[in-house]
Structure 1
Amino acid sequence: MPLPVLTINGLAMSFGASEVLKNVSFSVAPGETMGLFGKSGSGKTTIGRCIVWLEKPTGGEILVHGMDILSMRKKEFRKLRPKIQMIFQHPETSLDPRMKAFENLIEPLKLHSGLKKDALLKRGEELAKLTGLRPEHLARYPGQLSGGEIQRIVLARIMALSPDFIVADEPTSMLDVSVQAQILHLMQKLQRETGVSYLLISHDLEVLRKICHRIAYLENGTITSIENINRGIRI
């Protein structure tokens, strides 16, 4: 069996005297979508933020390809960081409103790829095509785009870094139902083509059951059960 992309062991998190997470444990296989379901305030987003180092847990392990990121120095984690990405509930916060969509899309490539201008533009066009963006979208500023178009730009930016794992925190909750379905289908398409793994965080169980291989149920700060949806990923 392949090594999990992500393994969480005994994760704990407290804010002052308030214990938000306690003994949270689960793993995510290569090419798997793991759902994380819980009510508002259950700690779902906190788990996601701990995985990408936006929050520092008070206990436990977070292993990426078997390496405990919590024991890493910042310099070590920075090398790994492009492989672990996060889509936020409000994706527009990830984009620079002063830059056009295409400039936002290729910014990660400028920072991390070392590609020269022609290769950079070609790769940007490939990513735009991969995520279903048209030239008219790419010429606009974020404020001129719809929620679905912004989410496609964010996905293209993330895929520019060839991630192994993406935390998707309520990625479609701000979209109407038809656009929501388009973005979820796009995420599945990207997974089929690249093998990327997802942790899909949502309070919408119907959405999770449509797209996930397994669903972890979070209640009172701990995982109470994991449901196997049986979509062909071997765990």
Structure 2
Amino acid sequence: MIRKLNGNKLTVALPKGRLFDQTIDIFKKAGIISENISSSSRKLIIESSDFYFLLVRAKDVPTYVENGIADIGVAGDDVLLESNPDVYRPVDLKIGVCNIVVAGLPESKEKYFSNPTSLKVSTKYPKITKDFFGKKGVKVHVIELYGSVELAPLVGLSEYIVDIVETGRTLRENGLVVIDHIRPSSAKLIVNRISYKTRKNKLSPLIENIENFQKNEV
């Protein structure tokens, strides 16, 4: 259906919120769009002169791009590592910068670093968690949570959590500390593989404009 509506326009899958606003800001500064695009309405499809913007959940962006509903999208490393979609990732947009970490109560640090054979971890990133601890040779029991993951160590559901941290404020306000760093995360421009070939005349200039903008920003 979207392909029929699209015509010659590119379709972009974006999460609502800060990442949407930052992406639109980059598109404007890079000369890709000139209109003011806002996600403040309840519309799930926003049309501009050259694009359709699909407003979706952050974790769903790769699904829309991989399946060709959207030509391009913006997703963080945390989402991409967890879902491992078959898409191109040509540009690091250098927004949505954060860290993926292991956190817990201060008193749980000692156990963590005393060569444990198994740990109980709450997270919304089960794949990242299993991969990280698997490389350490540590057996991990993962409890999947999708909201207020910081609560888990406070009530004894698990001793540790794996989550993304930007400033660490939420951890501090709940008496938690960063125990181990897994890796940094930032938002990437992702591209559908078929679109990359069939719509190269539109996608190549877009990617080039973003890259040139970033070079000038340094």
Task: Name the TM-score, length of structure 1 as normaliser.
Answer: 0.25
Larger RCO, structure (CA 8 Å, separation 6 or more): 1
Normalising to structure 2: TM-score of the pair?
A: 0.27
